[in-house]
């Protein structure tokens, strides 16, 4: 699998998974009442800036690829990511209306509007929803969800997508499944090993499986170093001589 394909899958398809099983922080058996649901919403991770360094692993068609990962986000504004193997790889920038990628391995770059992201994900998505999926938050606003108390779940829908959230004993997201209206693709995200960052909890591991048509994808994101300091630079430059893909 080419590194360019790996980067696109990490950046976009890592927002969907299918069939992950709970491993830790299992939800309690008690019925979750309205007060505990409100606790879940109060526990949503909230930071103007977020920087994460770690590792990512992608398995597709039996082949596994491991890369180092550096992510930076400005809330509701942009996602910047650098993925590399032995110093060679790709830099990605996703803004409110555009997607950019520079691949130093193939010496190419890509520029798309966000209809490209929507096509890959299967529903119209905002930059805020992409960020929420990466950090274990609910992807839709609170008003879109209803409680399924017997299963300790919240069910939300907006447009073509349905999001089912199972809460853990920290009242953060244990698993989040997403399914499109035509059922052509489905995903489940497993959030593991929550760690306190400031006053909130952030998952250190995001385990992803994607089912899209006849293709299955497994992604593991490992957040090793996290900070919420102000980020003043999101470096992105298209080198001279690179060809547009």
- Please state, in angstroms and rounded to a whole number, the distance separating the CA atoms of residues 134 and 208: 10
Say what the pLDDT of residue 135 is.
Answer: 96
Segment 62-69 shows an average pLDDT of 82
- Is a pLDDT exceeding 50 seen at residue 2? no
Higher pLDDT, 24 or 172: 172
Give residues with Cβ within 8 angstroms of 102, minimum separation 6. 90, 91, 108, 109, 236, 237, 238, 239, 242
Please, what's the b/e burial string for 58-90 (b: 16 or more CB within 10 A of its CB; e: otherwise)? bbbeeeebebbbbbbbbeeebbbbbbbeeeebb
Say what the pLDDT of residue 75 is.
Answer: 96
Task: Provide, for the chain, the percentages of residues in helix, strand and coil under a 3-state DSSP scheme, each rounded to the nearest 5.
Answer: 20, 50, 35
* Other residues' Cβ atoms within 10 Å of the Cβ of residue 49: 15
CB 225 within 8 A of CB 55: no
- Please state, in angstroms and rounded to a whole number, the distance separating the CA atoms of residues 42 and 213: 36
- Please state, in angstroms and rounded to a whole number, the distance separating the CA atoms of residues 117 and 78: 14
- Please state, in angstroms and rounded to a whole number, the distance separating the CA atoms of residues 151 and 40: 15
Query: How does strand 243-244 pair with strand 108-113?
Result: parallel
Please give the biggest Cα pair distance in the chain. Answer: 61
C-alpha distance from residue 224 to each of 51, 53, 113, 180, 230 (Å): 11, 6, 31, 32, 19
Structural domains of the chain, ranges and CATH numbers in brackets: 3-229 (2.50.20.10)
- Is a pLDDT exceeding 60 seen at residue 98? yes
- Is a pLDDT exceeding 50 seen at residue 119? yes
Q: How confident is the model at residue 34 (pLDDT cuts 50, 70, 90)?
A: confident
Give residues with Cβ within 8 angstroms of 28, minimum separation 6. 152, 169
- Please state, in angstroms and rounded to a whole number, the distance separating the CA atoms of residues 17 and 221: 12
pLDDT digits (tens, 9 = 90+) for 205-225: 999 887 776 677 788 999 999
- Please state, in angstroms and rounded to a whole number, the distance separating the CA atoms of residues 206 and 222: 7
CA angle 166, 169, 172 (to 5 degrees): 55
Q: How confident is the model at residue 116 (pLDDT cuts 50, 70, 90)?
A: low
- Is a pLDDT exceeding 80 seen at residue 140? yes
Q: What percent of the chain has pLDDT over 90?
A: 42
């Amino acid at each position: 699998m080419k590194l360019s394909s790996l980067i696109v899958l990490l950046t976009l398809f890592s927002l969907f998974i299918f069939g992950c099983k709970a491993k830790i922080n299992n939800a309690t058996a008690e019925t979750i009442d309205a007060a505990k649901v409100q606790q879940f919403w109060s526990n949503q991770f909230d930071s103007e800036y977020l920087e994460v360094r770690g590792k990512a692993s992608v398995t597709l068609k039996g082949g596994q690829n491991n890369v180092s990962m550096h992510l930076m986000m400005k809330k509701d504004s942009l996602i910047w990511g650098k993925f590399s193997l032995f110093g060679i790889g790709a830099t990605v920038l996703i803004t409110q209306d555009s997607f950019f990628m520079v691949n130093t391995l193939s010496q190419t770059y890509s520029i798309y509007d966000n209809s490209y992201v929507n096509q890959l994900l299967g529903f119209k998505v905002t930059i805020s929803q992409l960020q929420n999926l990466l950090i274990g938050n609910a992807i839709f606003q609170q008003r879109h969800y209803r409680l399924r108390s017997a299963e300790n779940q919240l069910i939300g829908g907006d447009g073509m997508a349905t999001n089912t959230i199972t809460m853990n004993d920290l009242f953060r997201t244990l698993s989040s499944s997403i399914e499109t209206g035509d059922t052509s693709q489905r995903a489940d995200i497993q959030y593991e090993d929550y760690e306190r960052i400031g006053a909130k909890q952030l998952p250190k591991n995001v385990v992803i499986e994607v089912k899209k048509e006849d293709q299955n994808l497994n992604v593991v994101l490992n957040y090793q170093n996290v900070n919420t300091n102000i980020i003043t630079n999101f470096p992105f430059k298209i080198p001279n001589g690179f060809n547009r893909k």
